[in-house]
Amino acid sequence: HSLRTAAKMAAPIFRCFSRGQGLGTPGLSGVLPLGLREAHSGAQGLLAMQKARGLFKEFFPERGTKTELPELFDRGTAGNFPQTIYCGFDPTADSLHVGHLLALLGLFHFQRAGHNVIALRVQSNARALRQGLKALAANHQQLFANGRTWGNFTVLDNSAWYQKQDLVDFLAAVGGHFRMGTLLSRLSVQTRLKSPEGMSLAEFLYQVLQAYDFYYLFQHYRCRVQLGGSDQLGNIMSGYEFIHKLTGEDVFGISVPLITSTTGAKLGKSAGNAVWLNRDKTSPFELYQFFVRQQDDLVERYLKLFTFLPLPEIDHIMQLHVKEPEKRAPQKRLATEVTKLVHGQEGLDSAKRCTQALYHSSIEALEVMSDQELKELFKEASFSELVLDPGTSVLDTCRKANAIPGGPRGYRMITEGGVSINHRQ
C-alpha cells in the first residue's frame, strides 16, 4: 500500500465586448427570452437592477446625448438590438484574479439579458488568458443557463488591428485628436504622476490605445458601451470623446466597483494579495476558503456582486443567517457559487473534499483525494509519497518521510502525541 504523509504547517488590458447583429441575434424570434424578461421586469430594467445590486456604479455620460443609455437596452426603442458591450482587463500576468471577476460578472449579466459579449486581449499572456476566459464562459453557460437562450461570448485579440498599424502613421492619424491638457487632467493620470513610481510614457499613452480600441469596436462591431473598473473612467471618457469627435455618435461607459481587502488594498497582483482564477496559482480549495472567510458585514454585498442569485433569495439567506450565524450559510453559499463559476462542478467538489479533510477531519474525504488535491491542500507543507513494506513502524515511516527530526527528539514527538496520520494521533 502507498501511505501518504504530510506535515501540516500553521496561506494587459483585457477588453470584453458584446457585439450587435454581426454575431447573430439569438432569442429574437418574437418572444422575449426568459433572461430578458427577468432583466426588464418591472420599471427598473437591466441597468437599474444591476445598480441596485451594486454591480454598476457609474454611467457616463448620464445626460446630454441624443440617445440615452437606457434606450439602448429597451427592445422597443433600440434600432439595433442586441447591443455590444466591451471591457478591459490587465493581462500583465498569465491569469485573471478575483479583482477581475466583477467586470466578467457585468458582461455575463448583459449576456444573460440577450446581448452578445466579446472578450478582447492584448498579446502579452494572451494564450493563457484566452483559455481562462473561455473556461469561465463555458462554466457560466453550462452550469447557470437553465436552458435559456443568451447572447454569444466571443474572444478577440486587439493585435488583429494593431499589427497592421505603422507607428508613425498611427500617431499622425490618431494622436492628433487628443489634447495633452485633457489627458493630463484625468484623475488616474494625476494619481500616477504624484506617486513615488511616477508614470511611464507607455502607461500614459495607454488611454489613447484604449480609446482607439473602443473606436475600432464601434466601427466594426457597433460596440456602444464599454464596461470597466471605476479607475478606468478617465480612459472610457477618452474613448467617448474620440468616437464622438470622429463620428458624431454617442457611446457610453459603465463602471463596476473596485473590490478591496479588509485593509483597503486593491485585490490585485500589484497589492501582493491576489486570489488568482487559474488553478495552478490558486486552487479551488483556496478560492472557496477566501470567500468562506469573508466577514458578516461584507457577505450580503458580495452575494449581490459575485453571484446571479435573485435579490429576494439573498434577503432570505441573510434572514436565516441572523437566526443561526454560527452556520455561516451566506459565506458558504457565496463560496459555492463563485467556485462553481470559476472552476466548474469538479472544482467545487474538490474544494469541498479538501474542506472536509482539513477542517472536519474526514478520513473518507482524504482517501478519495487525488495527488493534485493533496498537493493543493498541503501546498506549504513538505510532501512525499512512500511505498512501505508490511510491518513498517510509525517511527520508520515518519523518518523516511522526513516528517520528524532524527534521534530521541523525533521519537518523543510520537510518544507525546505530536504526530498524526490521517487525522489520528
Instruction: Judge whether 205 lies within some domain.
Output: yes
Instruction: Judge whether 193 lies within some domain.
Output: yes
Do 150 and 293 belong to one domain? Answer: no
Secondary structure letter of residue 64 according to DSSP? S
Instruction: Judge whether 157 lies within some domain.
Output: yes
Do 106 and 232 belong to one domain? Answer: yes
Instruction: Judge whether 83 lies within some domain.
Output: yes
Q: Considering 343, 359, 378, which residue would you say is the last residue of a domain?
A: 378
**DSSP three-state, residue 335:** helix
pLDDT at 379: 79
pLDDT at 185: 85
Give per-residue burial for 30-53: e unless 16+ CB within 10 Å, then b: eeebbbbeebbeeeebbbebbbeb
Do 360 and 393 belong to one domain? Answer: no
Do 334 and 206 belong to one domain? Answer: no
Map grid coordinates 473534499 to a residue. 353
Instruction: Judge whether 29 lies within some domain.
Output: no
CB of 425 closer than 8 Å to CB of 417: yes
Do 162 and 310 belong to one domain? Answer: no
CATH number at residue 192: 3.40.50.620
- Angstrom CA distances, 22 to 26, 218, 237, 346, 369, stand at 11, 12, 26, 35, 46
pLDDT at 74: 74
Picking from 422, 417, 421, 384, the residue whose alpha carbon sits closest to that of residue 401 is 384
Do 307 and 171 belong to one domain? Answer: no
**DSSP three-state, residue 2:** strand
Do 290 and 367 belong to one domain? Answer: yes
Do 144 and 78 belong to one domain? Answer: yes
Do 365 and 386 belong to one domain? Answer: no
In total, how many domains does the chain have? 3
Give me the half-sphere count of Cα atoms (radius 13 Å) on the Cβ side of residue 249.
Answer: 14
Alpha-carbon span 371 to 117, nearest angstrom? 37
pLDDT at 182: 85
pLDDT at 213: 93
Residues in the chain, pLDDT under 50: 1-43, 271
Do 401 and 351 belong to one domain? Answer: no
Instruction: Judge whether 47 lies within some domain.
Output: yes
Q: Considering 259, 294, 329, which residue would you say is the last residue of a domain?
A: 259
Write down the pTM of the prediction. Answer: 0.79
Alpha-carbon span 353 to 377, nearest angstrom? 10
Instruction: Judge whether 28 lies within some domain.
Output: no
Instruction: Judge whether 16 lies within some domain.
Output: no
Do 222 and 242 belong to one domain? Answer: yes
CATH number at residue 338: 1.10.240.10
What are 298's three cell numbers? Answer: 461584507
Map grid coordinates 432569442 to a residue. 27
236 φ/ψ angles, rounded to the nearest 5 degrees: -65, -40
Range of the domain at 412: 382-424
Do 188 and 251 belong to one domain? Answer: yes
Q: Considering 259, 275, 302, which residue would you say is the last residue of a domain?
A: 259
pLDDT at 77: 57
